[in-house]
Amino acid sequence: MSELTTVARPYAKAAFDFAVEQSAIEKWHEMITFAAAVAADATMASFLSGAETLDKKVEVFVAVCGDELDEKAQNFVRIMAENDRFKALPAVAKLFAELRAEYEKEIAVDVTSAVKLTKKQQTELAKTLEKRFSRKVKLNCTVDESIVSGLYIKADDTVIDGTVRGKLNRLAHALQS
């Protein structure tokens, strides 16, 4: 996977820089994400790795994407195809999303709780986390009843484990030391 990331990085950067120049970051993000989903489809991946000519592969890929890709995005796909980089499209989409989040000073935060958080709780949590990270926060909330109570928060490399299970694990570790 790291090899694909290395291959994808210049494509993602070029696409992102172009999107910034055109003031079309959201549109490009949608197009690249869609193209990545098409490329990741098992049937399409099999076709793209087959013995068809490059022109045929690009023609079919663009036809499948239809109106989801504008002319510039189609050219982007052609360039990737010419360099045999269809497999890197999902990694390009991931890196593009990271560049967008960095550009927009936004951070995705995964929050796991024992019960579903109310809208008010989510709003308050987002405000608190925005102060802590000095960025806009996008919450991805999930429920895991096994944590008993509290919140498990993960943002990039930062983990805040305020769950009862986490506290019990830390207590058990401290007692064993």
> What pLDDT, in 10s, does the model give residues 20-29?
898 888 999 9
Domain boundary among 53, 68, 102: 102
Average pLDDT, the chain: 88
Same domain, 56 and 85: yes
Query: For residues 106, 112, 118 and 124, what is the CA-based torsion angle, rounded to 10 degrees?
Result: -40
Question: What total number of domains does the chain contain?
Answer: 2
Q: What is the pLDDT of residue 126?
A: 92
Domain boundary among 102, 128, 158: 102
pLDDT (tens, 9 = 90+) of the chain, 177 residues, equals: 467 778 889 999 999 999 989 888 899 999 999 999 998 888 888 888 887 788 888 888 888 888 888 889 888 988 888 888 888 899 999 999 989 888 888 888 999 998 999 999 999 999 999 998 888 888 999 999 888 888 999 987 889 888 888 888 888 999 997
Same domain, 12 and 96: yes
Tell me the residue range of the domain where 71 lies: 2-102
pTM of the model: 0.63
Q: Which single residue is written with the structure tokens 């994808």? A: 8
Same domain, 113 and 97: no
> What pLDDT, in 10s, does the model give residues 131-147?
988 888 889 999 998 88
